[in-house]
Amino acid sequence: MLTLTERLGLREEDKTSWSQLLCGALISRYLKAPISRYLKAPRSERSTPSLMETRAGETGEVTVSRWVRCSPELAILVLVLSFTVRATPQLVSIPIPGTKAFPESITSRSDGTLYVGRLGNGGIVRIKPHTHESAIFVQPGALGSRSILGVFADEASNTLWACSNDLSTLGAPAKGSDTGSALKAFDLRTGNGKRSVSLPGTHAFCNDIAVDAKGSIYVTDSANPTILKLSPGATTFEVFAQDSAFSAPQSGGAGLDGIAFGSDGNLYVTTYAAGGLFRVEVRAGSAGRITALSGDHQLRFPDALRKLGDNSFLLVEGAGTLDRVVIKNNGFAVTPIYGNFSTPTSVALIGTTAWVAEGNTTYFFDISKKNVTPPLPFRIYAVSLRKENTK
């Protein structure tokens, strides 16, 4: 195998003097000053996250010891890295209105329109295609709604479905009269309220939504180990699937979270705190076997799940990544696509672009950060998918 210097055609007698000069200049210019200053700056002062940004907790720092010896190989490596840093593109982003928006879910229409539910301020934001103009589409408090979590654009029924939960005890400023958890239906074109269906029980938490070809609605209940189903014309939910494996850990946290149909017609769900991914077989509209899938990667706070290709999905992990997940038999393989988000909460696919909502929800749920202002404005980010990540 050829070395780096051999690939560049350097002679042995040229390597030492050339590398010392180049290595010193490049380390000083590209590694020591710009990147360390960038990583130490508060996130709110950065325009959009760079693909080269790394994290060490909330902040990161790149330092190069002054005692490092510059070898020819190190000089070439630094040169390669310098071109990588300079060529790295930044993500396109769209600001979400609201100083306490905390975007929790995102969905899209076939024409490219995006809808974003707000956990803190409540209401739903609509983002127009092409112009990327954003505005409040469903007003906070509409139909008695509180904090909005999962949203789903159901074009077949001209309905924007939304999960509403009363999080006022956690300090959510969202207006509304509801005191529990409910599924809301709004007109997809006008934003006007259509209907509201309460989740069963006194302790429920509507999180995410999926719709089948017949128009039945499925929601995950994060407070209970149940997937609920609302059939067309029904006024109450029925329990579609229930399993103790869907429960949150005894140490606390959310249970069921993301939900989506796969290309095989089965339902797939995630469990947030436990980091699980499950398949629920669907047979003639009823639930069959429930299988806990094993993967090549331990999921860290898996959240929204969106159908991608032939039994593949887009998945956001609350730990910071957007992934491609491919299901095979009773297992799954994970390919990280982008890994620099601050508590991503959801993803929507438009063509070959994945739009990721960056929730920054630690500033909402973490009591130690209650009086800390999150990076503003809240944003959603566009991630262009490579061809191999669209299948």
Average pLDDT over residues 254-280: 97
Is pLDDT above 70 for 334? yes
pTM of the model as a whole? 0.78
The residue length of the chain stands at 391
Running DSSP on this structure, what letter comes out for residue 69?
-
Give the pLDDT score at 380.
98
Residue with tokens 């995410």: 208
**Which residue from 292, 301, 282 is spatially nearest to 222, judged by alpha carbons?**
301
Q: Looking at this protein, which amino acid is placed at residue 78?
A: V
The tokens of 287 are what? 């639930």
Residue 263: left (phi > 0), alpha (psi -120 to 50), or beta?
A: alpha
Domain annotation for the chain: domains and CATH numbers: 4-87 (no CATH), 92-389 (2.120.10.30)
Under the banding of pLDDT at 50, 70 and 90, the label for residue 44 is very low
Q: How far apart (Å, rounded) are the C-alpha atoms in residues 154 and 139?
A: 19
What strand order describes the sheet that includes 134-138?
103-108, 114-118, 124-127, 134-138
Give the side-chain half-sphere CA count within 13 A for 292. 12
What strand order describes the sheet that includes 302-309?
294-295, 331-338, 321-328, 312-317, 302-309
Q: How far apart (Å, rounded) are the C-alpha atoms in residues 344 and 41?
A: 20
Is pLDDT above 70 for 52? no
The tens digit of pLDDT for each residue in 194-212 reads 999 999 998 999 999 999 9
Average pLDDT over residues 351-357: 97
CA trace torsion 382, 222, 336, 152 (10° rounding) = -30
Is pLDDT above 50 for 133? yes
Q: How far apart (Å, rounded) are the C-alpha atoms in residues 83 and 119?
A: 40
Average pLDDT over residues 347-353: 97
Residues contacting 331, CB < 8 A, separation 6+: 293, 294, 295, 296
Is pLDDT above 50 for 87? no
Average pLDDT over residues 328-340: 96
Average pLDDT over residues 340-354: 96
Residues contacting 138, CB < 8 A, separation 6+: 123, 124, 145, 148, 160, 162, 186, 191
Give the pLDDT score at 90.
77
Q: What is the H or E stretch that residue 348 is in?
A: strand 344-350
Under the banding of pLDDT at 50, 70 and 90, the label for residue 130 is very high
Give the pLDDT score at 232.
96
Under the banding of pLDDT at 50, 70 and 90, the label for residue 32 is very low
Give, in degrees to the nearest 5, the angle at Cα 278 between 272 and 282.
Answer: 130
For the chain, percent of residues with pLDDT exceeding 90: 71
Give the pLDDT score at 145.
98
Give the pLDDT score at 250.
80
